[in-house]
Structure 1
């Protein structure tokens, strides 16, 4: 059994989508990031960066003690390797997936996340910040638009690279984007959104409040102002 430490955000949905695609049973453990669950000592033992998602695999392939993993890309690579799906073993194909997985981790996720912050959550409307990150998302969507012009998925076959990027693109409106401006990207998005496992993965945590519903100053301070000291 796998314990999934989760809250309904793009990073959380990456892992829930993958688990649903794999058909692997898992135990959902909510981490209420608006109340500060991510700073609890027991969670920090699993995720020292005080971020979810994280997993604990109680049945690792080496037969040893349960293994805990934080960082969504590390989790996805681990699960894909364990179950032999959505991550190629051949060198060149694997390198393609890794490139686009790390592109999402280093570019799309952080930049889209900053766009969310300055457009939706910042207590002051700082136009420079709004423009800076909205425009960077435009650039990154353009990268995907060009990449997908001659292929169905980011790195050959459908893979964890697509699953990592998809939840961030699913929040395009919050990033000031209209997918009709990116017809090739929209085709990719619609094809993934139609997958039953993706629908199930996005439905995980539907009964939990999303970050956009945070209203109190205290919740916002916990989420955006805590320095973990």
Structure 2
């Protein structure tokens, strides 16, 4: 058994099996990226439910692993130079893909193209859809000025059109199924949660709806979408 005592997070969320990857997460679009990757790659792991409450994500134990107080984060007891902790979902996806040798393409060019679409999600699609959700579903909906809501709606429409075009004639974003899909599809699916499908013309998109359906039909994805189980 590996000694994980150097990671204070394990005092609040103890590991039952210190020989496997420890996942600290909640099933949001960012959170399920990593549980999906772990299931798809067949990497042994142990999930720990970290709620979005300040008492969890701003606790000293969680901040010791992720000073940005956001899920997900992992501790890998079998890192390249010994146990390693990693935060940021995109960084974790890249790490796991390289560790497993899966879902990052076959060539250096494949990896570069998959990485660029992963960054597209991290820098554009995720933040913009999240902000739109805030202005449609959460506290932002009470703001009378329509301009913030319209700004994020319009950018969401633009970004979804980019994805729709990229999927023309393809099942997946870049060649074969990859970590780019694990990042992008959960965020598009969040439109259902935010109640914004009609606002962005989701059902008028040619390729995106079938893509999301295809993604969530994968057995590993269907299993991972509620890991850790929020109860």
Q: Report if TM-score (shorter chain) is over 0.5.
A: yes
1:133 aligned counterpart, secondary structure: helix
TM-score scaled by structure 1?
0.85
Contact residue 49 and residue 229 of structure 2 kept, 8 A: no
Runs of 4+, deviation exceeding 6 Å:
none
The residue that corresponds to 2:169 in the other structure is 150
Contact residue 15 and residue 72 of structure 1 kept, 8 A: yes
The residue that corresponds to 1:202 in the other structure is 225
Contact residue 76 and residue 160 of structure 1 kept, 8 A: yes
Structural mapping, 1:67-216, within 5 Å: 67-122=84-139, 124-126=142-144, 127-173=146-192, 174=194, 176-178=196-198, 179-208=202-231
Per-residue CA shift, 1:156-208, capped at 9, x if unaligned?
11000000011111112326224321131112111111100000111223434
CA distance in 2, matches of 1:94, 1:122: 39
2:70 to 51, 63, 68: 51
CA distance in 2, matches of 1:115, 1:205: 25
Structure 1: which 5+ residue stretches go unaligned? 209-229
Farther-moved stretch of structure 1 (87-96 vs 175-184): 175-184
The residue that corresponds to 2:11 in the other structure is none
- Over aligned residue pairs, what C-alpha RMSD do you find? 1.5
TM-score scaled by structure 2?
0.84
Structure 2: which 5+ residue stretches go unaligned? 1-19
CA distance in 2, matches of 1:191, 1:8: 19
